């Protein structure tokens, strides 16, 4: 078996060390943020969930669907939260399809540090648009992941997509 190193992932994980030890949670802080403020990554608020852009996206449009309630494990999710999380994942897929026309998606959760969670104390679900060939020589050889769109432009496009589809 060959190893493929992804050192850029450590930047993401390391960025949360101070937050975790200090008791602050970026997802809990996002509950109080204004979607219209372009300086944050918040895209949508529902009754029990948030939709937030990933600061370190794997691809353009990488979103996280997050329960507002600070919970760390999947068994703590209530039935109401579960339904809304799934509804928001479905809506996110529709919006991403409209805005970016991806050829596929990765949808899932990284549970626990060993499962790859960068923020393990507040469960969240990822939806990552994928295209044939979106993994190329840059991450494998150059240790660089190319994201071809600025986060502010991504937010503008996603907000427009949500407005068009969800009203």
CATH number at residue 96: 3.30.428.10
Question: Would 108 be classed as within a structural domain?
Answer: yes
pLDDT per position as a tens digit, 36-56: 999 999 999 999 999 999 988
Q: Pick 104 or 143 by higher pLDDT.
A: 104
Question: Would 20 be classed as within a structural domain?
Answer: yes
Question: Would 2 be classed as within a structural domain?
Answer: no
Question: Would 1 be classed as within a structural domain?
Answer: no
What amino acid positions are annotated as catalytic residues?
124
Q: How many domains does the chain have?
A: 1
pLDDT above 90 coverage of the chain, percent = 60
Question: Would 73 be classed as within a structural domain?
Answer: yes
What pLDDT does residue 10 have?
A: 61
Assign 3-class secondary structure to the chain.
Answer: CCCCCCHHHHHHHHCCHHHHHHCCCHHHHHCCCCCCCCCCCEEEECCCEEEEECCCCCCCCCEEEEECCCCCCHHHCCHHHHHHHHHHHHHHHHHHHHHHCCCEEEEECCCCHHHCCCCCCCCCEEEEEECCCCCCHHHHHCCCCCCCCCHHHHHHHHHHHHHHHHC
pLDDT per position as a tens digit, 14-35: 655 544 444 689 999 999 999 9
What pLDDT does residue 23 have?
A: 60
Question: Would 59 be classed as within a structural domain?
Answer: yes
What pLDDT does residue 16 have?
A: 52
pLDDT per position as a tens digit, 54-84: 988 888 899 999 999 999 999 999 999 999 9
Residue 155 is part of which domain span?
7-166
Asked if pLDDT for residue 136 goes beyond 90, the answer is no
């Amino acid at each position: 078996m060959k190893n493929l190193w992804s050192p850029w992932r450590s930047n993401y994980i390391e960025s949360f060390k101070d937050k975790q030890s200090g008791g602050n949670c970026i997802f809990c802080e996002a509950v109080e943020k204004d979607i219209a403020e372009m300086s944050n990554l918040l895209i949508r608020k529902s009754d029990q969930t948030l939709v937030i852009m990933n600061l370190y996206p794997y691809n353009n449009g990488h979103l996280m669907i997050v329960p507002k309630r600070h919970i760390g494990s999947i068994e703590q999710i209530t039935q109401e939260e579960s339904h809304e999380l799934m509804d928001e994942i479905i809506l996110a897929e529709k919006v991403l399809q409209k805005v970016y026309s991806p050829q596929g998606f990765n949808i899932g959760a990284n549970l626990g540090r060993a499962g790859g969670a960068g923020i393990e104390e507040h469960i969240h679900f990822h939806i990552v648009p994928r295209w044939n060939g979106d993994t190329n020589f840059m991450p494998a050889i150059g240790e660089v992941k190319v994201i071809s769109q600025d986060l502010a432009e991504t937010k503008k496009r996603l907000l427009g997509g949500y407005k068009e589809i969800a009203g």
